[in-house]
């Protein structure tokens, strides 16, 4: 291999880029304590209860780029039984707070459907905060497979 001016410049440019790329952080996932902190903030110090909220998610997602999620809250949507908001968390995502839905008495029902991206198998958590301050939670583990071949 003969060293030409073009090869020397290419090697020098490559050597200069490597330290710059090393300074960028790699892919991150949410720490369990960060997810827990966000859930505590959403609950405003109340202990989440089971019931009232139903999270529907696939047990196995063959494509982690578009995982369908449905959240429904059993509520009359009047008086103290109004659902103020529902938040969906994914504890393995770089940003665990995926979506927040806000409702009013004019909403009629407290239900929402969305799609989310999951990079790996993880827990998806839905929390609902009611007008009376109570908080409800439902949690599902979603297995993300690579190309539909198991995870």
**Domains within the chain, CATH numbers bracketed:** 32-144 (2.60.40.2470)
What pTM did the predictor assign? 0.76
Q: pLDDT of the chain along its 151 residues, tens only?
A: 677 888 767 777 777 766 655 555 544 445 678 889 999 999 998 999 999 999 999 999 988 899 999 999 999 998 889 999 999 999 988 889 999 999 998 989 999 999 999 988 999 999 999 999 999 999 999 999 875 445 4
Cβ 86 vs Cβ 110: under 8 Å: yes
Q: Please give the structure tokens belonging to residue 95.
A: 């940003």
Give the containing element (helix H, strand E) for 72.
Answer: strand 67-73
Per-position DSSP letters for 32-84, written without gaps between them: HHHHHHHHHHHHTTPPPBSSSEEEE--SEES-TTSEEEEEEE----SGGG-EE
């Amino acid at each position: 291999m003969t060293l030409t001016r073009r090869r020397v410049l290419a090697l020098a440019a490559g050597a200069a880029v490597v330290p710059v790329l090393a300074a960028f952080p790699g892919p991150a996932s949410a720490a369990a304590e960060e997810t827990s902190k966000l859930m505590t903030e959403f609950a405003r110090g109340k202990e989440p209860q089971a019931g009232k909220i139903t999270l529907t998610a696939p047990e196995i997602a063959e494509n982690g780029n578009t995982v369908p999620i449905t959240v429904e809250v059993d509520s009359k949507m009047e008086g103290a039984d109004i659902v103020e908001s529902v938040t969906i968390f994914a504890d393995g995502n770089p940003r665990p707070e995926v979506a927040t839905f806000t409702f009013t008495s004019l909403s009629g029902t407290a239900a929402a459907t969305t799609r989310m991206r999951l990079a790996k198998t993880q827990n998806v958590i839905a929390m609902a905060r009611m007008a009376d301050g109570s908080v409800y939670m439902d949690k599902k583990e979603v297995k993300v497979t690579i190309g539909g071949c198991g995870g």
